[in-house]
Amino acid sequence: MKATASRPSPIKVGFRRTARLMRQLSGFIHAVAESRIRYRGSGRSKSVMFLNLAVVIVAALGSSLSLVTQDWDAADRATVRLEPAAFPNLPAGIRSELERRGCTIPQPFTATTPANAIKGRFMSANRTDWAVLCSRRRTSAILVFRGGVGSTAVELATQADSGSLQTIDGNGKIGYSRAIAAASSRYILDHYNAFAGPKPPPLDHEGINDIFIEKGSVVWYWYRDRWLELQGAD
């Protein structure tokens, strides 16, 4: 069973804004070139002047867009992604399955010890499971291993790692910001009461808090053989 969490991508937002401005400037260039814009005085020389100016602006914007894209792409590639062997507390069967799948575990910028491999009662009240954020080809999904057994993985909340990047200081430094944690019944109810959102079903085990650090979260809760998306932090 797969479910998908969506978050705004800073790269896509930047692309849309810059592309819109470049389209507007391109239209201006075309209008000048077709002599649709006329000024008093030496009309031809002024048209040429404005044409040249517009070309310079578009070129500068294109260069800026390229640099911005490179910054975010470089940050995505530079995200720390640990091999399963870096998590000695993981059951051996889960480590083997993660390695077989080609998983690495991306680390949020706040991590000081290996993060994003957690255990809890995520699918029933009487069994301990493991949840691991698995990154493959710069796209991550949460893998939940029922009872801590490597062959029982359930996958959910797949998204590009770039969608979990944000600037993390006043100097424009970019950091990976996705983290997972166990969400207790009290946490789920408290956040539902505070922010509304989907009404939780009867709760008898934990959920998985899928966090965008310093922005918000959603809680994934297993109920009647499917993952429900519940209210998290806002």
Per-residue model confidence as pLDDT tens digits over 56-78: 555 545 544 444 555 999 999 99
Q: How many domains does the chain divide into?
A: 2
For the entire predicted model, the pTM comes to: 0.73
Q: Are residues 140 and 187 in the same domain?
A: yes
Percent of the chain with pLDDT over 90: 68
Position 194 pLDDT exceeds 90? yes
Q: Is 27 exposed, middle or buried (0-12, 13-18, 19+ CB in 10 A)?
A: exposed
Domain coverage including residue 46 = 10-78
Place of tokens 């493991």: 130
Which of these three, 36, 61, 78, is where a domain ends?
Answer: 78
- Range list of β-strands (E), the chain: 81-82, 105-106, 117-120, 129-136, 139-145, 153-160, 165-167, 174-176, 178-183, 207-212, 216-223, 226-231
| 200-212 tens-digit pLDDT | 999 999 999 999 9
Q: Are residues 35 and 120 in the same domain?
A: no
Q: Are residues 104 and 151 in the same domain?
A: yes
Residues 194 and 234: their CA atoms lie apart, in Å, by 9
How much is the pLDDT for 47? 54
How much is the pLDDT for 6? 47
Residues 201 and 221: their CA atoms lie apart, in Å, by 9
Q: Are residues 113 and 146 in the same domain?
A: yes
Position 45 pLDDT exceeds 90? no
* Confidence grade of residue 37 (pLDDT, cut at 50, 70, 90): very low
pLDDT higher at 34 or 126: 126
Q: Report if residue 17 sits inside a domain.
A: yes
Position 86 pLDDT exceeds 70? yes
Q: Are residues 165 and 95 in the same domain?
A: yes
Q: Are residues 119 and 188 in the same domain?
A: yes
